[in-house]
Amino acid sequence: MLVLEEIVRLTRCIRIGLSPHLSRLSVGFAVKMLQTFCFPGGVMHRFTIAYCLLALLQSPVVAAEVGIEYGRVTGVEVTTRESAMARNMLIGSLAGLLVKDTFSGALGGATAGFVVTSIMENDKRVFAYTMMLQDGRYETVAVNRPDIGIGHCAALERDAEHINLRPVSAVHCETQESAEASPGAEHRESAAEKCSAAREALTSPGENTDINAALREMRAYCE
């Protein structure tokens, strides 16, 4: 039992330590968390063991296989949790936590640090990203991260219970045909031409210039 306790405690500590969201926490709070999860004592002890077992069961090692699809973001809309639910959007894990107001829906997908920070921030906005996937389908995903822009390439990850959206390199959003037809230099040349054309359209637009489309092209090809 002692060995098992050590293993789950270590697992929990590693997961907290590796959390990409740890930087969002204050140093004091991080220390407090590490004390709670790594060096528990008294009444907290049993709770911590139960939590660690839960964390171990939900760890990536035993999690179901995650499906990943890549696509470009074609629209961003700030919405509310109720609206996102009413419109049957895919709800990301952290947004899912906000939507359901319960830990059960999101605990496995979210790190403890970010969950606590999100609750503390009390920011109830949900960001609905419309993506054009590589097979031409459109998906709208509601998550509470605000940092993905129109034209950016993003990965839509999902398993049986959770949805996650994260920005990735534009390489993942090149279609197979375009990669085969114009590998390397030709493709870059084509992108540079499109970037120049979009810039020209924006700095000296004509009467019929579609400014929205030119901005999208610029964001996609000039970055």
Instruction: List residues binding another protein (CB under 8 A).
Output: 76-80, 121-125, 127, 146-147, 149-150, 199, 202-205, 211-212, 214-215, 218-219, 222-223
Query: Minimum CB separation from another protein for residue 169, in Å?
Result: 17
Shorter beta-carbon distance to another protein: residue 122 or 176: 122
Q: Which helix (DSSP H) or strand (DSSP E) does residue 181 occupy?
A: helix 176-181
Query: Minimum CB separation from another protein for residue 28, in Å?
Result: 18
Shorter beta-carbon distance to another protein: residue 34 or 150: 150
Shorter beta-carbon distance to another protein: residue 34 or 76: 76
Q: Encode burial over 27-61: b for 16+ CB neighbours within 10 A, e otherwise.
A: eeebeebeebbeebeeeeeeebbebbeebbeeeee
Rounded to whole angstroms, the Cα distance separating 18 from 132 reads 31
Residue type at 56? L
Shorter beta-carbon distance to another protein: residue 123 or 193: 123
Rounded to whole angstroms, the Cα distance separating 38 from 35 reads 5
Query: Minimum CB separation from another protein for residue 140, in Å?
Result: 14
Query: Which two three-digit tokens encode residue 113?
Result: 């640090």
Give the per-residue SS3 of 129-141.
Answer: EEEEECCCCEEEE
Shorter beta-carbon distance to another protein: residue 82 or 186: 82
- Whole-number Cα distances in Å, 46 to 32, 51, 53, 65, 214: 17, 9, 11, 31, 59
Count the residues in the chain. 223
Quick check: 113 and 12 in contact, CB under 8 A?
no
Query: Minimum CB separation from another protein for residue 39, in Å?
Result: 31
Shorter beta-carbon distance to another protein: residue 147 or 180: 147
Query: Minimum CB separation from another protein for residue 107, in Å?
Result: 23
Query: Minimum CB separation from another protein for residue 26, in Å?
Result: 14
